[in-house]
Structure 1
Amino acid sequence: MSVLLIEAFYGGSHKQLMDLLQEELRDDCVLCTLPAKKWHWKARTAALYFMQTVPASTNYRFMPEHKLAHLEKVIAVKRHGDAYQSEGLPGQQNGRALMRNSNTHHESGLCEAQPGLDTTQLEGLPSPVTAPVRLSKSEASESTNPCQEEDKQRLTFNLSNTLSGLDDQQRPLHIAWPHRWEHDKDPETFFKVLLQLKEKDLPFHVSVLGETFTEVPDIFSEAKKALGSSVLHWGYLASKNDYFQALCMADVVISTAKHEFFGVAMIEAVYCGCYPLCPKALVYPEIFPAEYLYSTPEQLFKRLQNFCKRPDIVRKHLYKGETAGFAWAALGGKFRSLLAAEPREDL
C-alpha cells in the first residue's frame, strides 16, 4: 500500500507535519504540495489542481474494492489516449516529459516520492490565483521577506549577551509572538496591547517571529518603529535551532489569532518553557487550562501589566496543562495505525 500526502499550504506547521510524516513513513510515500500562499484561494481551488497532478495509482490507502475497480478502468482507458505517455500514470500535457522521483519545488506545486514510486508534475498548470509537535531536525520554509533580511543583520540574535548579569526581577519581561505575519493572526491587537504597556513605561522586551509572505500588513513596520528599544528580535528565523532558542529565552508567548485550528507554535513555546496567553476562543480552550486564556484585549493587557511588574512570577511558574499527548512519541503509533487501516465500503 502507498501513502499519498496532500498539502495545499506547504509552509509553517503544515510543512512540519508533512515532512515529519514523510520522514517516518519512508516506504511508499508520495507527497504533493502547493506553496504556502493565498490560504483562502487554496481552500477553494487546490482540489482542481491536485486532481490533475496527483499520480494515479491503485495502491493508495482507503480505496475500497468498488473504487479500485473503477480506478483501474479509468487508467486502462487513459493508457490509450495521446495525452498519456506512461503506463498507469498521467502524462504531461503539451508533450512535457515525465518526471520520476521529483524533488524539485515549483511555484505551481510539488509532487515528490520516496524511492520506488513514480511521480509526475505539471509545471505549466497555474497555481490557484497566482501539527503533532516535534522539535525536529528539519529546517523551516525559506519564504522570507527582503525587509526581514535587513532586520536580521541589524538585530543580531544574541540574547545571552543582552540579558547576562541580570536576575529574574531585573530582567524585563520577554514576550514572544511566533505567528505568520498575516491579518488572521490579528497582529493589530497584539501591537495595540504592547504599545499600551509602552505608554505606561512598563519594561519589557519582545521577539516577533514567524514567516512573512508577499504581502506584509503595514502594522508591522509601524509597530517596530513605535516599540523602539523594546524590540529584542524582529523577523523570521530560518534555523529551527535559532527559533527554539528564541522561545527558550522568552517568558510569555501570546496568541491573538482570529483563525486557528490547533496552534502548533503555542504548544512549541510551552515546551520551551513559555507561559501561554491565548484567546478564550477557537481551539484554545480545548488545549489550555482556563488560567492561560483571556476574553478581551483589556484582559490581556492587565495580565501583561502584572507580569511586567513581576516577571519572576512567570519565570517560576510551572505549566499546569498537558503537553506529552501532542508529541510524536504519543501520536506516531496512532498515525501509522490510521494510515494502515483497512479500507471500508462506506468511503
Structure 2
Amino acid sequence: MSVLLIEPFYGGSHKQLMDLLQEELQEDCVLCTLPAKKWHWKARTSALYFMQTVPTSSNYRFMPEHKLARLDKVIGVKRNGDAYQSEGLPGQQESRAVMKTSDAHPESGLCEPQPGLCTTQHEGLPSPAAAPVQAEAPESTNPCQGEDKQCLTFNLSNILSGLDYQQRPLHIAWPHRWEHDKDPETFFKVLMKLKEQDLTFHVSVLGETFSEIPDIFSEAREVLGSSVLHWGFLPSKDDYFRALCTADVVISTAKHEFFGVAMIEAVHCGCYPLCPKALVYPEIFPAEYLYSTPEQLFKRLQNFCKRPDIVRRHLYKGETAGFSWAALGSKFRSLLAAEPREDL
C-alpha cells in the first residue's frame, strides 16, 4: 500500500497524527507538509500549493472516473498514462517543468515518491521551484525565555514537596495553542474572577506559542501571580504528561475545534474535563462535563476551588480507550487501503 499524507498545518495534534501514521503504517508513505502557522490562510490556499508541488504517481494519485470526467469539463484535464496535469492555472507551466526534473533536482522542494518527509517553511505560497526541503518542526516561541521563572522547567518534586495531596489547591490546566481560536480571553477572565474572590487555585498554562501571542496572556500572567504553577510550552512529551497528571481540572474554551486531542489526553491522565456545550465536545464528553456560558464555567470552578477533594475523588464517566491506536489502527489501515467509490 502506498499512502500520500498531506498536512498543511504540521504542528501540535496535527503533527502527532501524521507522525503516528507514518510510523505505524511502515509502508511506502510520503508526507507533505506546511508549517503550523496562520491556519485560516492554510485552509484557503494550501490546496492550490499542494496541487502544484505534490508529484504525480501511479501509486496514489487516483480519482474515480466520474470525477476525472467532471474535471475534464471544468478545468480541462489531460490524461497522460497514469498521471494527469491541468492547464491554465497561475504558475502551472513552471510547476510542470519542475516536476519533470524533480528526481534530478531534489532541492526543488517537491516530495519525492518514496518514504520521507517534505516540509516547506513558507508564510505564503511561493513558486514550487523556490521551496526548500526542510525536516524541522514549525517555528515556535517561548514567551518565558530569559525569565527566571518556574515556567522554564517542570519539576514535579518541587510541586509536591511539603503539600499533602488532599490539601493542595485546585490545579487547573489549559493545554491549548496560544491563539485566539482557543479563546484564551474567556478562560483568563474566569480565572481573574476567581482571583478577585480570593479563591485559592494553581494554574498550568501549557500549549505551543507562535510569533503572534494574544495580549491577554501577558495581562493574565501579571494578575494571576503566585497562582501560576507553570507557564509555557513543554517540548518534552514526558514533562507535558507529568504536568497533566498533577492537574485536577482541564479546561477548554475553544471557539474552533474539530476533535480536541489535548482534552482527551488530559482526561486520560486523570483530569476532570470542562468543555463548551458546542462544537465536537457533546459527541465525546457526557453532559456533566459541558458548560453553556462563561458564568457556568465560573460557578463550576468556584465550587471546585472550595472543595478540590470532590474532583480528586471523581472517576471519569466517559470512555477514552476508543481513541487509542489499538482501537483505531485497523480502521485507519482499512480506510487508506480502500478502493475509490462512486460516492467519494
Structure 1 and Structure 2 fold alike (TM over 0.5)? yes
- Kindly state the Cα deviation for residue 97 of structure 1 after the two structures are TM-superposed: 5.2
The one of 128, 140, 145 aligned to 2:141: 145
- Kindly state the Cα deviation for residue 161 of structure 1 after the two structures are TM-superposed: 1.9
Question: Does residue 91 of structure 1 match 2:88?
Answer: no
Q: Distance in 1 between matches of 2:44 and 2:299?
A: 40
Instruction: State the match for 2:45 in structure 1.
Output: 45
Change (3 A) 1:123 1:308: farther
- Counterparts in 2 of 1:326-341, with a 5 A limit? 326-341=323-338
Q: Distance in 2 between matches of 1:6 and 1:34?
A: 9
TM-score by length of structure 2 reads 0.83
Change (3 A) 1:82 1:75: farther
Structure 1 gap ranges (5+): 110-120, 127-139
Confirm or deny: 8 A CA contact 1:168 1:312 kept in the other structure. Answer: no
- Counterparts in 2 of 1:213-252, with a 5 A limit? 213-252=210-249
- Counterparts in 2 of 1:268-307, with a 5 A limit? 268-307=265-304
Q: Secondary structure at the match of 1:9?
A: strand
Confirm or deny: 8 A CA contact 2:276 2:292 kept in the other structure. Answer: yes
Confirm or deny: 8 A CA contact 1:178 1:210 kept in the other structure. Answer: yes
Change (3 A) 1:305 1:123: farther
- Kindly state the Cα deviation for residue 124 of structure 1 after the two structures are TM-superposed: 1.4
- Counterparts in 2 of 1:312-327, with a 5 A limit? 312-327=309-324
Structure 2 gap ranges (5+): 70-76, 87-92
Letter aligned with residue 304 of structure 1: L
Q: Distance in 1 between matches of 2:184 and 2:168?
A: 25
Larger mean CA deviation between 297-306 and 54-63 belongs to 54-63
Confirm or deny: 8 A CA contact 1:62 1:342 kept in the other structure. Answer: no
TM-score by length of structure 1 reads 0.83
Letter aligned with residue 50 of structure 1: F
Instruction: State the match for 1:55 in structure 2.
Output: 55
Confirm or deny: 8 A CA contact 1:262 1:283 kept in the other structure. Answer: yes
Change (3 A) 1:151 1:187: farther
Instruction: State the match for 1:190 in structure 2.
Output: 187
Letter aligned with residue 150 of structure 1: G
Which one has more relative contact order, counting CA pairs under 8 Å at least 6 apart?
Answer: 1
The one of 104, 108, 124 aligned to 2:122: 108
Q: Secondary structure at the match of 1:281?
A: coil
- Kindly state the Cα deviation for residue 96 of structure 1 after the two structures are TM-superposed: 7.7
- Kindly state the Cα deviation for residue 346 of structure 1 after the two structures are TM-superposed: 4.8
> Could you list the per-position Cα deviations for residues 227-252 of structure 1 after superposition, in whole angstroms to 9, with x for gaps in the alignment?
00000000001111111111011000
Change (3 A) 1:265 1:338: same
> Could you list the per-position Cα deviations for residues 66-99 of structure 1 after superposition, in whole angstroms to 9, with x for gaps in the alignment?
7599654474889xx997679xx5435xx88557
**Percentage of matched positions with identical amino acids:** 74
